[in-house]
Structure formats: C-alpha cells, structure tokens
C-alpha cells in the first residue's frame, strides 16, 4: 500500500468515525455531544497547523547542523564545474 493510499484510508476512517459521532449513531454524554463534537474538525485543523509550524521551525533551527551534507554538496558542485568546463561551458570561478 502506498503512502497516499494509507493516508486516504486513515482520513476516510477518521471521517466515518466523526460522522458517526456527529450524527449520534454513537452517542456520548449530551454535554460532549453538543459542545465538543461540533468543533472537533476545527480543533484538528488548528492542531495540524501547529504541528506543521513546529516541523518547519525545527527544520530551520537545525538547518546548520549538516556539515557532512554541505561538504558533499560542495564536492558535487566542483565535479559539475569540471565536467562543464571539459565540455567548453564557462561556469565562472569560486
């Protein structure tokens, strides 16, 4: 099963569960049914947005912690410059 199929399956499952609760097929105490259940989609959306912002912030925070990747990238740039120079393309200097 691909990741897209997995995600769609989980989304459909959660949607079905929510609709069953929202339409009172599965019942909860009245206070929860009237005050909590209607705002669950908004709560989920806000929580998902907060999670994505955290992931973005963490990625920015740890961005400079990859010296090996930087070294590898610089080697690839040097190699590409050599190959392009061998083919007669002017790529400039460092």
Token look-up 């097929």 returns 25
* Average of per-residue pLDDT across 65-89: 88
Q: Check residues 13 and 69 and name the one with the higher pLDDT.
A: 13
pTM over 0.85: no
Domain ranges of the chain: 3-87
Q: How far apart are CA 4 and CA 65, in angstroms?
A: 31
Q: What pLDDT does 77 receive?
A: 93
Cβ atoms of residues 33 and 27 within 8 Å: yes
53 closest CA partner among 40, 13, 45: 45
Task: Check pLDDT > 70 for residue 65.
Answer: no
């Amino acid at each position: 099963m691909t990741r897209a199929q997995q995600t769609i399956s989980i989304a459909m499952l959660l949607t079905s569960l929510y609709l069953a609760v929202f339409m009172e097929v599965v019942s909860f105490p009245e206070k929860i049914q009237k005050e909590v259940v209607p705002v669950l989609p908004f709560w989920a959306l806000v929580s998902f947005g907060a999670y994505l912002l955290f992931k973005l912030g963490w990625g920015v925070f740890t961005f400079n912690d990859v010296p090996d990747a930087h070294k590898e990238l610089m080697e690839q740039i040097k190699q590409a410059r050599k190959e392009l120079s061998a083919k007669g393309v002017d790529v400039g200097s460092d």
